[in-house]
């Protein structure tokens, strides 16, 4: 179900058997439709793990294979045992998957349309793709919050920037109103002259802030202090257009 919610198009499956030790590798290659779909699936698998990047492939290794993504594709490689053959073949497959999304008849990578939220974090702020995640639904555990992009805030802790591009400025404003209302249950809202809503978690002491500009809802979560929070929001707002996109 989670693959379908993240834009699933097609699954290709292949099983390989080693001629030297009869070990087997199962390969699952998911076409998730677009970059957001593959990032959303991959971020769930990669949570808390160190992610490597090689020739455009984001991946991490396991004891019996590897899990990763490239472009709109997500893949899982799983051997039936730990062996040198399984390790070597998994590395070779990761290298082979670098060829995914390299259609010579298609536009160059920088010319392909990408989500405005991803573009803001990756191209605007210069955050590496491996440090960006996508969440399709139930964001912040709110059933009304959907399709958010997250990225490491660079504050040396768990602080994350977030961005949501709404269909209209009105939709963005309604979403912000709903989030501000829900946050009052676990956070204390702090008085501020700034053009954003600032909260402090009652038990953890971390800070949450949310702002809106045009179609865009943006902010920072798990920030360590108000100064870091303000700097993160200013960093985001500098890269928004007049219409908030």
Q: Smallest Cα–Cα separation from 130: which of 228, 237, 42?
A: 42
The reported pTM is: 0.75
Mean pLDDT of 236-242: 79
pLDDT at 241: 63
Mean pLDDT of 134-140: 87
pLDDT at 94 over 80: yes
Mean pLDDT of the chain: 87
Secondary structure string (H, E, C) spanning the chain: CHHHHCCCCEEEEEEEECCCCCCEEEEEEEECCCHHHHHHHHHHHHCCCCCEEECCEEEEEECCEEEEEECCEEEEEEECCCCHHHHHHHHHHHHHHHHCCCCCCCCCHHHCCCCHHHHHHHHHCCCCHHHEEEECCCHHHCCCCCCEEEEECCCCCCCEEEEEECCCHHHHHHHHHHHHHHHCCCEEEECCCCCCEEEEECCCCCEEEEEEECCEEEEEEEECCHHHHHHHHHHHHCCCCCCCC
Of the given ranges (75-84, 86-95, 119-128), which has the lowest mean pLDDT?
A: 119-128
Mean pLDDT of 113-119: 80
pLDDT at 245 over 70: no
pLDDT at 104: 46
Secondary structure string (H, E, C) spanning 48-65: CCCCEEECCEEEEEECCE
pLDDT band at 154 (very low <50, low <70, confident <90, very high): confident
Residues above pLDDT 90, as percent of the chain: 58
pLDDT at 103: 61
């Amino acid at each position: 179900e989670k693959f379908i919610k993240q834009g699933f198009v097609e699954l290709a499956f292949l099983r390989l058997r080693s001629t030297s030790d009869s070990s087997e590798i199962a390969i699952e290659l998911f076409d998730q439709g677009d970059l957001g779909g593959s990032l959303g699936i991959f971020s769930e698998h990669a949570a808390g793990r160190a992610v490597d990047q090689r020739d455009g492939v984001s991946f991490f290794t396991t004891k019996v294979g590897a899990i990763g993504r490239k472009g709109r594709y997500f893949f899982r490689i799983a051997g039936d045992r730990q062996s040198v053959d399984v390790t070597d073949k998994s590395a070779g497959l990761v290298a082979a998957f670098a060829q995914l999304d390299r259609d010579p008849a298609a536009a160059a990578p920088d010319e392909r349309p990408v989500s405005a939220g991803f573009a803001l974090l990756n191209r605007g702020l210069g955050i590496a793709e491996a440090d960006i995640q996508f969440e399709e639904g139930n964001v912040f555990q709110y059933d009304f919050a959907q399709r958010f992009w997250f990225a490491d805030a660079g504050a040396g802790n768990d602080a994350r920037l977030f961005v949501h591009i709404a269909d209209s400025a009105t939709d963005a404003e309604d979403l912000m109103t709903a989030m501000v209302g829900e946050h009052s249950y676990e956070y204390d809202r702090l008085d501020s002259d700034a053009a954003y809503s600032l909260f402090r978690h009652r038990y953890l002491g971390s800070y949450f802030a949310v702002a809106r500009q045009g179609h865009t809802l943006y902010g920072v979560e798990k920030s360590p202090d108000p100064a870091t929070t303000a700097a993160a929001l200013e960093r985001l707002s500098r890269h928004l257009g007049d219409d908030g996109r």
